[in-house]
Chains A and B, each alone.
Chain A
Amino acid sequence: MSVSVLEGPQAIPEPEAHVHHAPTGFWRKYIFSTDHKVIGKQYLLLSTVMALVGGFLAYGLRWQLAFPDTSVPGMGFIGPEEYNVLITMHGTTMVFFVAMPMLLGGFGNFLIPLMIGARDMAFPRLNMLSFWTIFTGSLVLLVSFVVPGGAAAGGWTGYAPLSARPIYSGVNWGLNLWLLAHAIEFASFLMGGVNFLTTAMTMRAPGMTFFRIPILVWQQLTAAVVFLLSVGPLIAGAVMLLMDRIAGTSFFVPDGGGDALLWQHLFWFFGHPEVYVVLLPAAGLALEVLPVFCRKPLFGYRWIIYATFAAAILSFIVWAHHMFVSGMDPRLAMPFSITTILISVPFAIMVFAMIATLWGGAIRFTTPMHFALGFLGMFICGGLTGIFNGSAPANIPLHGTYFIVAHFHYTLLSGIFFGGFAGLYYWFPKMFGRMLNEPLGKAHFWLTLITFNATFFPMHFLGLAGMVRRIADPTQYPSIVPFQYLNVFITISAIGLILAQIPLAINIVHGLMAGRPAPDNPWEANTLEWVTSSPPPHDNWGKVSPAVYRGPYEYSHPAAEEDWLPQHQMLPAKP
């Protein structure tokens, strides 16, 4: 008895009026496009450019830490004031202008409509506006480097009172523009978040019920909700800080009756959920890639969704673990330690779901799979140190040391380097219609994995040895001098990590120009974006948009002939 699979799609053709017509002019097609796929690529390009800026800043500050008070090749001499500018702008650039545009703006825009079977976003023009808004914000941030007084130097957290009066940090316009760039960036992602949520709520393909939505879309939507509901207090705080700076108010200035800790509360009320805004989409990319190359259903699909919701809710009540040493009421340390350790439970569920998906799978070791596995390993490292940092007794001696720097690079940077690159290698054929080179991709993976760990793992030791953050010259502390060789090692590794991205650049340029043309479904995957051509047409689906009959991860289904069963295909009833 042979069971065959009916060829989809089985949906009703749309009336002609609903079919979008592709724009023909260069400007409308590539620059001021309302096509979610073009906008997604624009976000990816913007994040790449800003990553070069952020990486250059990292190179400068690492050189200064390894070889204090020597001229940085290609950058010049860095004094303590310039060092403060470097760490401030490195953090701001990487979190707000690289991680978010890449993981949310780039992959979210490109994939959400394709994965749910829509023809575009709910508000295509708002989508275009959101990109050009963050583009403007990036320009404002870059311009702040060249205004009199230099760029912001108050740390990426902009703690008051240092940030609240221009005379305290010596930077006036740089910090005002830094605040303005944030405001513009938040406006952009508010538009984007509203668009993501409305699209997914109202424009799903027929049959795309809640529990048939791919996990990445769930993670993107959860991140959008977390962002929308957490950024408000920081917007309020930014308005207050700007008033302190230009109108002479004293919200955060103690000698005027204000409270400097209030800024920290407002900042971290957003700042901690922001971690999950970046992390959830990155985990979603890895979760999307793993079952495809294990040829197995994703383990615990619903539990991952519930864990995502739990993490989102808990993320709103953990923020003060950033403030154990700030001088806030010490009685708050216990409840915030408990909530912080609780939030590791939903992430442990996700990690175990990843491992259980691997168990017994027929694993295909492609480049995206390498990066997804890299994410799993690196994220476990970062998650484990998170348990140290979350409990107040361990946090108090560790806080403000390089242990924290190691921790958040293992969590956030692994999201970009391993989650983000897993997504890039996996969806590049769909985005550009060309395959990337596999051996070169694997070389990129191994070089990145080795230099990543060589850069960030020794920071744990430096932190435990007592090297504090935000100092331009670690050798001024005699206790650190015996460990200075580690700083040199880290800096060389960090330069290696930057250079390790050259194979990726070669691969992308070569792929775009001379890569093998990509078939519609090169990875034999189930989700809807692989139904359409590579790259998809302007309206995503041509005349007939797909209908959905099953969940996204039905690999090795016993009733199907092949080991994959796309979401839009029906199985015939058994005779």
Chain B
Amino acid sequence: MKMQATAAIPTAYPIPPGKVGVWWFLASEVMVFGGLIGSYLVTRLGSTTFADAAHHLSVPIASLNTLILLTSSMTMVLAFGAADHGDRAGARTYLLLTVLLGLGFLGIKGYEYAGKVAAGFTPASGPFWSFYYTMTGLHGLHVLAGVIANFSLYVMARDRLRHPHRIEFAGLYWHFVDVVWIFLFPLLYLA
């Protein structure tokens, strides 16, 4: 009788809570950028000035930045792979590389901003520039948050790997930031 009742009892949940939490957080983040990108598309379709304004942006620089961010996603995966095998030194090296690539992306973005502002294109220069600075700025803040998270993990792993699974969670976020850029790059620079 007791056996019958306990047979219906399921086993523990197979996914760690942290991972479930990160996925729900990312779902809400998708809607933040979704709202911004949707607004951009609607405004762009109703306007004739966007394509001309977009020509002032530099595709080669943005392509380089895309390459840097994609590479940083690779090093993030390598960091998680190393942590998964208990390779603390490898995990630290790849985390540091990811941080440096993230900072490189932000540096190039800052160089781009400076050039555009010097050429007279500020956020107040029209709808395209409003969207350009807001979308890339919000994305840049997300990159910065990821850099801080990855650097914290790098520091925390200095004597032993306390929370190897956290590198996976930070990686999920980092890939999300990467994916957002994959949308922003063609929408702002190529279209």
Contacts and interface: CB of A to CB of B under 8 A. Distances in A.
Do chains A and B interact in one complex? yes
Interface of A: 10, 122-123, 126, 190, 193-195, 197-199, 201-203, 206-207, 209, 228-237, 239-240, 243, 247-251, 256-259, 262, 266, 269, 547, 549, 570, 572-573
A201 B16 CA distance: 10
Interface stretch (B3-11, B72-80, B93-101, B150-158): B3-11
Contacts of B34: 232-233
A236 B41 CA distance: 14
Contact of A197 (B1, B13, B20, B133): B20
B108 to A, nearest CB: 22
A229 B31 contact: yes
B35 A236 contact: yes
Contacts of A256: 124, 126-127
Nearest to B138: A239
Contact of A195 (B9, B10, B21, B30): B21
24 contacts: A123-B21, A190-B28, A198-B24, A202-B17, A203-B17, A206-B9, A228-B31, A229-B27, A229-B31, A232-B31, A232-B34, A233-B31, A233-B39, A235-B35, A236-B36, A239-B138, A240-B134, A243-B133, A243-B134, A249-B123, A249-B134, A257-B49, A547-B9, A549-B5
B111 to A, nearest CB: 20
A197 B24 contact: yes
Nearest to A240: B134
A232 B35 contact: yes
Interface in B132-182: 133-134, 138
A266 B127 contact: no
B126 A232 contact: no
Contacts of A547: 6, 9
Contacts of B32: 232-233, 235-236
Contacts of B191: none
B63 interface: no
Nearest to B128: A257
B58 interface: no
Given A202-B13, A202-B15, A549-B5, A248 B123 contact: yes
A10 B20 contact: no
B39 to A, nearest CB: 6
B39 A198 contact: no
A257 B47 contact: yes
Nearest to A257: B127
B127 A250 contact: yes
Given A236-B35, A239-B138, A259 B10 contact: no
Interface of B: 1-2, 4-6, 8-10, 13, 15-17, 20-21, 24-25, 27-36, 38-39, 42-43, 46-47, 49, 122-124, 126-127, 129-131, 133-134, 138
Contact of B1 (A251, A262, A573): A573
B129 to A, nearest CB: 8
Most buried by A among B5, B10, B46, B126: B5
Nearest to B12: A202
A259 B43 contact: yes
Nearest to B14: A202
Contacts of B124: 247-250, 256
B35 A233 contact: yes
Q: Chain A binding site: helix, strand, loop or mixed by DSSP?
A: helix
B138 A237 contact: no
B22 to A, nearest CB: 8
* Nearest 10 Cβ contacts at the A-B interface: A232-B31, A233-B35, A248-B124, A249-B130, A236-B35, A232-B32, A236-B36, A202-B13, A206-B9, A122-B17
Contacts of A10: 2, 5-6
Nearest to B46: A259
Contacts of B131: 251
Nearest to A233: B35
Contact of B25 (A190, A248, A259): A190
A202 to B, nearest CB: 4
Contacts of A262: 39, 42-43
Nearest to B43: A259
Contacts of A266: 35, 39
Contacts of A209: 8, 10
Contacts of B36: 233, 236, 239-240
Contacts of A237: 35, 39
A247 B8 CA distance: 60
Given A251-B127, A257-B127, A207 B9 contact: yes
Contacts of B35: 232-237, 266, 269
B96 to A, nearest CB: 27
Given A243-B123, A259-B46, A573-B1, A232 B9 contact: no
A269 B133 CA distance: 24
A109 to B, nearest CB: 16
Nearest to B141: A239
Nearest to B15: A202
Given A249-B130, A250-B130, A262-B42, A198 B28 contact: no
B2 A570 contact: yes
B116 to A, nearest CB: 14
B135 to A, nearest CB: 9
Contact of A251 (B2, B27, B39): B39
Contact of B20 (A202, A249, A251, A570): A202
B147 to A, nearest CB: 20
A231 B5 contact: no
A258 B130 contact: yes
B132 to A, nearest CB: 10
A320 to B, nearest CB: 13
